[in-house]
Amino acid sequence: MARVKYTENDVNLVARMMRAEAEGEGKLGMLMVGNVIVNRLAANCLDFVDLRTISDVIYQVQGGNYSFEAVQKGNVFYNRARGVEKRLAKQTLDFWREHPSKYSLWYFNPYGECPPTWYGQPFAGQFKQHCYYEPQANTCPSVYV
């Protein structure tokens, strides 16, 4: 059973975002970005309440900006998804979860040391250039299901 409900259009959308945000970090880096997308949809807590679809997650606006920088700035996001990214996106949507993105709702590339918290949530770990942050269990228990 899939982790969240999705359509073929959702697979393409996640694939495009994974590539735009983490192509330079290889397949594992792209899987981790995809995992954060799925976690945000499944979480229904904190900044991610009432997100019902993959599209809601990808195009979410917070503080006047898109949550994912690639939507606003990234021409790579607007390219067609390739087969390899589609396979990785489907893998993430269906079952893939791994540390440090396993329960993470945020990631970013600080171009330096990862801070101990991000949006008040603890550092979960780093993969290549991206720092991952997961919510405290008492603030968002649904992400740990």
- Give me the chain's average pLDDT, please: 95
Q: Cα angle vertex 86, ends 72, 94, to 5°? A: 105
Total of domains in the chain: 1
Query: Is 121 contained in some domain?
Result: no
CATH number for 34: 1.10.10.2520
Query: Is 66 contained in some domain?
Result: yes
Mean pLDDT of 55-68: 95
Separation CA 32–CA 1 (nearest Å): 20
pLDDT tens digits, 9-19:
999 999 999 99
Separation CA 56–CA 52 (nearest Å): 6
pLDDT at site 125: 98
Q: Is the pLDDT of residue 105 over 90?
A: yes
Query: Is 63 contained in some domain?
Result: yes
Mean pLDDT of 104-124: 94
Instruction: Tell me the whole-structure pTM to 2 decimals.
Output: 0.96
Mean pLDDT of 106-133: 94
Query: Is 124 contained in some domain?
Result: no
Mean pLDDT of 75-94: 95
User: Range of 90's domain?
Assistant: 8-103
Buried b (16+ CB within 10 A) or exposed e, 85-118: bbebbbebbeebeeebbbbbbbbbbeeeebeeeb
Mean pLDDT of 92-102: 96
Q: Which one has a higher pLDDT value, 97 or 1?
A: 97
Query: Is 84 contained in some domain?
Result: yes
